Chain A
Amino acid sequence: MSLELIGITVLWIFLYGYVIVASIDFGAGFFSYYSVITMKKHIIHKIIDRYLSPVWEVTNVFLVFFYIGMVGFFPETARYYGTALLIPGSIAIVLLAVRGAYYAFSNYGSKDNKWYMLLYGATGLLIPATLSTVLTISEGGIITEQNNFISLDWQKLFGSFYTWSVVLLSLVSVLYISAMFLSFYAFRAKDLPAFKILRGYALFWSCPTIIASILVFFTINQQNPDHFQNMLNLGWMFGVSLLCFIIAVYFLWKQIKLGIAFIFVLLQFAFAFFGYGRAHLPYILYPYITIHENFTNQTMGTALVIAFIAGIVILLPSLYLLMRLFLFDADYVQGKLIKKGD
């Protein structure tokens, strides 16, 4: 495997990691707020809080990691995306900042402040929508370069049907992934009233998710026919993804094997995400940046891969510890280890 392929694979894995943990996080913020306005807060809020509080900071790092890795492995992305994305990028930063800060304010500081909850719940839905437009942009035709002047064609961005189907998919899948995870978590916590509500959310959002996925699959043909053709060649991956979706929803419906159900949710998105990514190669920004021509110099590439391996050696045990303490520890999940005041 060549260095650039290792590079993009590492980045894609981290982006996938971000999509999953951030979805759980963003969706949970929304459900948390929704539970307040529907007077169900006392039922599900604790479950959400118990999972999210120790991990929210980690979520953000996945995104930063992806971004820094991207600039490191493929420095020219900084110039193209950086110049073109000034406004959408700034808006995304503001949303991320508001969400992160108000999450902390509302969870560690002023508990029960409805406005703080609204801010972090609402921004949680806007962030995926904003970030997902980068996927449209990477298909080409929206960032243009003329006489060394890089610019973003807003009309093309918002005029594209593909853009809107990606936005739609990001919105509904956030709610779906999050609800699936929280159902599993509530089930483990033996908190049946919370489980009942969250299961309802998960089933409710599963339908739009799969419809939006299929919509995105076909509208890509309009935006970038080459990419669509590549995706057809990898059709089996999307087929497997659909199958995983059906199994996950079936288990949830039957209320059995919820841990496995969530693993199938992970697989569903993994197959779709990696299928999409693989079909996109070798382009990072069609048609300007490819992983081969715009890879960083070999020395830096090697240094980054070594740093990455060293980093992972420290990171994985730490993440494992985090999960053991807050995800797989039955007593913690059931709320037996929490004392008031923190």
Chain B
Amino acid sequence: MPTYDSVFYSRLLTETTLAFHIIFATIGVGVPVMIMLAELAGIKRKDPYYSLLARRWARGFVITVAIGVVTGTAIGLQLSLLWPKFMEIAGQAIALPLFLETFAFFIEAIFLGIYLYTWERLKPMHHLLLLVPVVIGSSASAFFITTVNAFMNTPQGFTLKDGLITNVQPILAMFNPSMPTKVAHVLSSSYMTSAFILAAIAAYSLLKKKGDTLYAKKALKLTVTAGLVFSITTALIGDLSAKFLAQNQPEKLAAAEWHFETTTNAPLILGGILTDNNEIKYALKIPYALSILAGGTPGSEVKGLNDIPEDLRPPLYVHYFFDAMVAIGMFAIVVGLIHMWYSRKKSRKPYPKWLLWLIVVSGPLSMLGIQCGWFYAEVGRQPWILRGYMKVADAATTAQNVDKMLLLFCLLYLVLALTAVKVLSNLFKKNDGADELMALGIFAGRTKE
């Protein structure tokens, strides 16, 4: 069967593109918020350090936006190339959010262009206001595109019979049951990850004692504080998502937790491995925790995998993604709390090296958490592309050569990633923070006179 291979390679290619895109998309959604916070702090406190922070972040941000834009275009077009039958249905049912997403993207693109080239042309406050449409645009496009993904998990607002779609209600399709938790989780985790990535950069430069440490310290405090707030929000929304899954997509939660028998008082399983005959080894069991996670009380019944037909169960390896995501989220909160404890007393400064290293690690880890979360969400929906309506195997292209295209795109992403790293590091080596502070007439907290 020629179709079979296409399905496998189409999945692989889509995964590769999305995994690559999501790195830049996350930064694209979160970093404008951080730039805005820094610029606001700069204006309110009349502190040029924060304004410089905003400026330097913005400069690096453009490079990541470029890759975000091109990979976003790639995944958009690939949807039709790899999943033509899905897109035919999507076009009928959820074209509205897709369409609105491009408008949001348009607004973001226009105002980001203006923002980058009007540092000297506008008053600081007016210049800051230009970021409002950028933030709205990037978060709105995340919102719209996530409603599409939510629709794939809990489709509604149409009737599908014999491949024909009728009775379409675009608004209902968009505001489907999993939309609220998904959108909220995506947005807050993007803000959180971006905050920790910027925190990691600040912590790293403190460790290397490069340039003016006051600049890096201010950056660190702003980013870790924001990161802590966003990571707590993310965890709370994550809890709501689990409760949602228990209600609406029990097979996804059960697969994540290797929960086979439908029971009350269900334990939560941390770590461990699964043997061939579905025995769990080396895992840490927390009694009642899954029931509490799923329904709020130990007495809540949690549906087990045995009640799901075997051919409709997601792969069980999603457990590892789920655990990794949750563990990273918890780690970030702990790091944020330790930092808060240290930052509240003068006597506990400067920060110990191990704390700075923890912050450095939390940046890339948060990004890994995003990847794990998405892999869990997406693989956990297998075998469906439209849960309950269309299976992945029926949606893939019938065209050959998907494997060759996979190689082509892997090469592309590799080259883009390497160049981006090179360009970004050159950019910041060339423009040292200390030099820029000097140019602004300040150094080590004092105005140079």
Residues of A within 8 A of B (CB): 53-58, 60-61, 63-65, 67-69, 71-76, 78-87, 89-94, 96-98, 100-105, 108-110, 116, 149-151, 296-297, 299-300, 303-304, 307-308, 311, 314-315, 318-319, 321-322, 325-326, 332, 337, 339, 341-342
Residue of A82, A91, A311 touching B80 (CB-CB under 8 A): A82
Main SS at interface, chain B: helix
Q: Bound complex: CA of A90 vs CA of B83, how far in Å? A: 13
Q: Please state if B70 and A55 are interface contacts (CB–CB under 8 Å).
A: no
Q: Determine the residue in chain B with the shortest Cβ distance to A63.
A: B73
Question: Which among A55, A56, A57, A326 has the greatest number of chain B C-beta atoms within 10 A?
Answer: A57
What is the distance, in angstroms, from A174's C-beta to the closest C-beta of chain B? 19
Q: Bound complex: CA of A109 vs CA of B60, how far in Å? A: 8
Q: Bound complex: CA of A85 vs CA of B87, how far in Å? A: 14
Known: A53-B116, A60-B70, A61-B105. 11 other contacts (CB 8 A): A53-B113, A55-B113, A56-B113, A86-B401, A100-B66, A110-B423, A307-B96, A307-B100, A314-B103, A325-B114, A326-B113
B59 an interface residue at 8 Å Cβ cutoff? yes
Query: B residues within 8 A CB of A63?
Result: 73
Query: B residues within 8 A CB of A81?
Result: 80
Q: Bound complex: CA of A314 vs CA of B136, how far in Å? A: 13
Q: Determine the residue in chain A with the shortest Cβ distance to B133.
A: A318
B245 an interface residue at 8 Å Cβ cutoff? no
Residue of A79, A151, A307, A341 touching B87 (CB-CB under 8 A): A79
Q: Please state if B168 and A86 are interface contacts (CB–CB under 8 Å).
A: no
Q: Bound complex: CA of A1 vs CA of B232, how far in Å? A: 53
Q: Please state if B405 and A90 are interface contacts (CB–CB under 8 Å).
A: yes
Q: Please state if B409 and A94 are interface contacts (CB–CB under 8 Å).
A: yes
- Interfacial residues of chain B within 17-67, with CB under 8 A of chain A in the complex: 59, 62-63, 65-67
Q: Determine the residue in chain A with the shortest Cβ distance to B174.
A: A303
Q: Please state if B66 and A322 are interface contacts (CB–CB under 8 Å).
A: no
Binary contact readout B387-419 vs A (1 if CB under 8 angstroms, 0 otherwise): 000000000011101100100110010001001
**Provided the pairs A60-B69, A100-B70 are in contact, do residues A68 and B114 lie with their beta carbons within 8 angstroms?**
no
Interface stretch of the complex, out of B118-126, B282-290, B373-381: B118-126
Q: Bound complex: CA of A90 vs CA of B401, how far in Å? A: 11
Q: Please state if B70 and A54 are interface contacts (CB–CB under 8 Å).
A: no
Query: A residues within 8 A CB of B424?
Result: 109
Q: Determine the residue in chain A with the shortest Cβ distance to B121.
A: A337
Query: B residues within 8 A CB of A79?
Result: 84-85, 87-88
B102 an interface residue at 8 Å Cβ cutoff? yes
> Can you list 23 A-B contacts with CB-CB less than 8 angstroms, sorted by A residue number?
A61-B102, A61-B109, A64-B76, A72-B99, A75-B90, A78-B80, A78-B87, A78-B91, A79-B88, A82-B83, A86-B397, A90-B78, A91-B408, A94-B408, A97-B73, A101-B419, A104-B63, A108-B62, A108-B427, A304-B95, A307-B103, A341-B431, A342-B59
